[in-house]
A and B are shown apart, each in its own frame.
Chain A
Amino acid sequence: MNDNELRGLFSEMREDLVPAESLARVRMAVAGRVQARRRVLGMGWKIAAALAVGGCLAAVMLRPRAVAPVPVAPAPSAIIAVEQSAPVIAPPPKPAVHMPVRAVAKPARHAQEAPASHVDAGGAHEIRIENPYDPDVVIVLIGG
């Protein structure tokens, strides 16, 4: 048998049929093992999902509780303080002191329209400036 005959035989062998039962066995075995692998992978995903859910639940349950807010004593309002201290603040009549004329020269803009009343309180000169827009605001200037 020479090389050409050998190669002729080789090319004929290329077309040889494979036994059908071998092909079927391989196909079924591969399909079975692929499905088994998919089942294992699916099981792995289910376990991973369950672990993730469990971890989330554990994290929620073990999370440190929020501290209850400490009640804070209400601070006295400024109005109350003003009312309580109002009599104290009332200045006693002072001896005549030379006051700068600045306050008279430049009254607040919002009080410019209000007429200033001059009251002579026990020798001390007192100027009351009322705000027409806010009757609660009265500016009292006391001078000698």
Chain B
Amino acid sequence: MIDLACAGSDSFEQVLRKWQAQVLRTAYRILGNWADAEDVAQEAFLRLHRHGLGFASDAAMGGWLYRVTVNLCFDRARARRSKEPSAELLESLSEAAVAESGMIREQQKQRLMAALAALPVKERAAVVLREIEGLTTAETAAALGSTEGTVRSQIFRAMAKLRTLLGQERV
């Protein structure tokens, strides 16, 4: 998992500083905008404060934080289901990115982010946790509250959709 010092003796302020970037980035990747991601991160850390820091290990705290963050993202995505990004958004975003950025790698990232936004939220969360955040399949399954088989299946489907959305078939 992520390499972090043990949280046993950390104060809440230290834990907040240590984890906020990961929580905020994960929420942003799932939700697609920073404002919602900030709200989710705030709520996740407040829940951590209410829960207390009595975790057996840093990995346990990380798993707990990812699970809370993902659940909050699901709640928020469910509440604004009608505003799910569409294929039109994907197209416009990719074109805007190409027009504005001269860097090919940056263009590719922009297109990939837009394609991610077009995925169903659970598939998106699985890809974000395992492929971007680098969790194992088991950790991803724990964070999503599902099984490893389900996670593998979701990632397989998501990758196929991403390849399609990005206009290239598997080589």
Contacts and interface: CB of A to CB of B under 8 A. Distances in A.
Contacts, number: 81
B42 A22 contact: no
A46 interface: no
Interface string B46-86: 10011000000000000000000000000000000000000
B20 A1 contact: no
Interface string B123-138: 0000100011110000
B34 to A, nearest CB: 5
Contacts of A134: none
B143 interface: no
Contacts of B170: 2-3
Contact of B24 (A10, A26, A33): A26
B17 A27 contact: yes
Interface stretch (A13-21, A51-59, A62-70, A99-107): A13-21
B46 A33 contact: yes
Contacts of A2: 163, 168, 170-171
B41 interface: yes
B21 interface: yes
Given A1-B166, A16-B25, A23-B21, A30 B112 contact: no
Nearest to B28: A18
Contact of B42 (A10, A12, A13, A29): A29
A26 B132 contact: no
Interface residues of B, number: 37
A25 interface: yes
Interface in B133-171: 133-134, 159, 162-163, 166-168, 170-171
A26 B23 CA distance: 10
Given A1-B168, A10-B131, A14-B133, A26 B109 contact: no
Contacts of B163: 1-3, 6
19 contacts: A2-B168, A3-B170, A6-B112, A6-B131, A12-B105, A12-B109, A13-B132, A14-B132, A14-B134, A22-B37, A26-B20, A27-B16, A27-B17, A27-B20, A29-B38, A34-B12, A34-B49, A37-B46, A37-B50
Interface of A: 1-3, 5-7, 9-14, 16, 18-19, 22-23, 25-27, 29-31, 33-34, 37
